[in-house]
A and B are shown apart, each in its own frame.
Chain A
């Protein structure tokens, strides 16, 4: 536990001392204000927007959650750049401990900010229980981003390019709601598809456990692959 506190304090020091990461830390706050204040205002002017509130929330929620994924990825990229990862490898903690800690760091904070956004936006309320489920699914987007960027990007510039690409990829499943029939399942290998599905079902009042279950399974499969890649490419294990 002491080690987790140590690592967390250290990570936040990094965020606060880096201008770009501070901006990324502010993003969830700005997005929440956007859906809380701006969207209702503009909806009064253009009532047609009300139909799209759920998509705005899907977008806002996922954008909020990936910020911590990005922040964590950048901390790791910096550790890679400065060879600090080598120094961490000779500490009395296992590589698995370190990796799991980093992924939990990303997940916990991103789940938390996604949850707060659902609560404070007051826009499309899925109910408390479903908000928990949704927050978990949103939160898992963070380690997804972290693993991809930290494993495959060689430096921060590449990291930013990856970020933009992944951002597009994870927004794509929102299109599924505009597709007829079963075509939407084309997006089902992208785990965020199930997050949006969960949200939509919650609003329709249908069951959400199935989407939660599928989302979790897809995430876990992807994580198993990405973690093994990370260990091989970053830790030479």
Chain B
């Protein structure tokens, strides 16, 4: 559905490429995520794919057609949620949605959409009176008001409190259920872990690792279990392999009162640091 090969992009007036020969494919119905620190090039790749940037080299294809050959009907089938809110501040939320949706051949009921992100009471409020989080939620619903097949979401949960972040993630999961292809960027590993079928680590315009989150975790985890028992300060650590036949482990769990047991699988955060030598923050 989305195919990128050997993509290189340098911003005009700079000499260092922002995107340094990256390749990846996103299948239909897949949720694909770019995980990377600020300045990694996540937004740049997305902007190339929805034609806000031109002058790249390499291949960037959507539905078997190079993005530079796509015409305006392309925008009927893709939806874009920008990383920063961009609305007409003097118009109300509803007026904004109505303005944008009327350019499409079909669209959803804006009031219902506002309701899904808890903005129904604010439908007739001017966007200039919105908080950043409210504007971001408005951005989010506008991105798929025309029922696109492919969605680009640039940091959809940034600036949101945990409750609203949860709501947005549930909607994304619901869109995935509907078979949409979704390309998200984030620097929150929890989001990537939870939402993405495939995640790519992007640092300085390079993809450093790319796989299913479970696979990455398996690959980089220590595969041990850590047990703490009552009245003892030291932790006991056992290999997961053949744990059922590990006499030391069995004796411990039989004879002691156990306080905690943890398998030591790595979080995407840990893996990111291991692979790239950088932190996500």
Across the interface, A18 reaches (CB within 8 A) one of B53, B80, B90, namely B90
Write the nearest CB–CB distance from B76 to chain A, whole angstroms. 5
Interface status of A36 (Cβ within 8 A of chain B) = no
Interface status of A168 (Cβ within 8 A of chain B) = no
Once bound together, how far apart are the Cα atoms of A2 and B103, in whole Å? 9
Contacts of A237 in B (CB 8 A): 54
| B91-106 interface bits toward A, Cβ cutoff 8 Å, 1 = contact, 0 = none | 1000100011011100
User: Which of B81-89, B190-198, B217-225, B255-263 participates in binding chain A?
Assistant: B81-89
Across the interface, B91 reaches (CB within 8 A) one of A13, A91, A236, namely A13
Interface status of A87 (Cβ within 8 A of chain B) = yes
Once bound together, how far apart are the Cα atoms of A94 and B74, in whole Å? 11
Assess the A90–B78 pair: CB atoms within 8 A: yes
Q: Whose C-beta in chain A lies nearest to the C-beta of B53?
A: A236
Contacts of A221 in B (CB 8 A): none
Interface status of B56 (Cβ within 8 A of chain A) = no
Interface status of A10 (Cβ within 8 A of chain B) = yes
Assess the A91–B86 pair: CB atoms within 8 A: no
Interface status of B231 (Cβ within 8 A of chain A) = no
Which of the four size classes fits the interface of chain A?
Answer: 20 to 34
Contacts of B121 in A (CB 8 A): none
Q: Whose C-beta in chain A lies nearest to the C-beta of B86?
A: A83
Interface status of A179 (Cβ within 8 A of chain B) = no
Once bound together, how far apart are the Cα atoms of A2 and B75, in whole Å? 18
Interface status of A154 (Cβ within 8 A of chain B) = no
Residues of A79-96 contacting chain B, CB below 8 A: 79, 82-84, 86-87, 89-94
Interface status of A156 (Cβ within 8 A of chain B) = no
Write the nearest CB–CB distance from A58 to chain B, whole angstroms. 35
Assess the B103–A93 pair: CB atoms within 8 A: yes
Interface status of A53 (Cβ within 8 A of chain B) = no
Instruction: Tell me how many residue pairs across A and B have CB atoms closer than 8 Å.
Output: 65
Q: Whose C-beta in chain B lies nearest to the C-beta of A235?
A: B52
Q: Whose C-beta in chain B lies nearest to the C-beta of A79?
A: B88
Assess the A90–B75 pair: CB atoms within 8 A: yes
Assess the A83–B82 pair: CB atoms within 8 A: yes
Once bound together, how far apart are the Cα atoms of A103 and B71, in whole Å? 23
Interface status of A182 (Cβ within 8 A of chain B) = no
Interface status of B272 (Cβ within 8 A of chain A) = no
Assess the A93–B90 pair: CB atoms within 8 A: no
Assess the A86–B88 pair: CB atoms within 8 A: no
Contacts of B50 in A (CB 8 A): 90
Across the interface, B72 reaches (CB within 8 A) one of A82, A93, A236, namely A93
Assess the A94–B72 pair: CB atoms within 8 A: yes
Residues of A178-235 contacting chain B, CB below 8 A: none
Assess the B88–A92 pair: CB atoms within 8 A: no
Q: List 28 A-B contacts (CB under 8 A).
A: A3-B103, A10-B91, A10-B99, A13-B91, A13-B95, A79-B88, A82-B86, A83-B82, A84-B86, A84-B87, A86-B52, A86-B82, A87-B82, A87-B87, A90-B52, A90-B78, A91-B75, A91-B100, A91-B103, A92-B73, A92-B74, A92-B103, A92-B104, A93-B72, A94-B71, A236-B53, A236-B54, A237-B54
> Hey, which bits of chain A sit against chain B, CB under 8 A?
2-3, 6, 10, 13-14, 17-18, 78-79, 82-84, 86-87, 89-94, 236-237
With A6-B99, A87-B100, A90-B50 given, name 19 new contacts (CB 8 A).
A3-B103, A10-B88, A10-B91, A17-B90, A79-B88, A82-B89, A84-B86, A84-B87, A84-B88, A86-B82, A87-B80, A87-B87, A90-B80, A92-B74, A92-B75, A93-B72, A94-B72, A236-B52, A236-B53
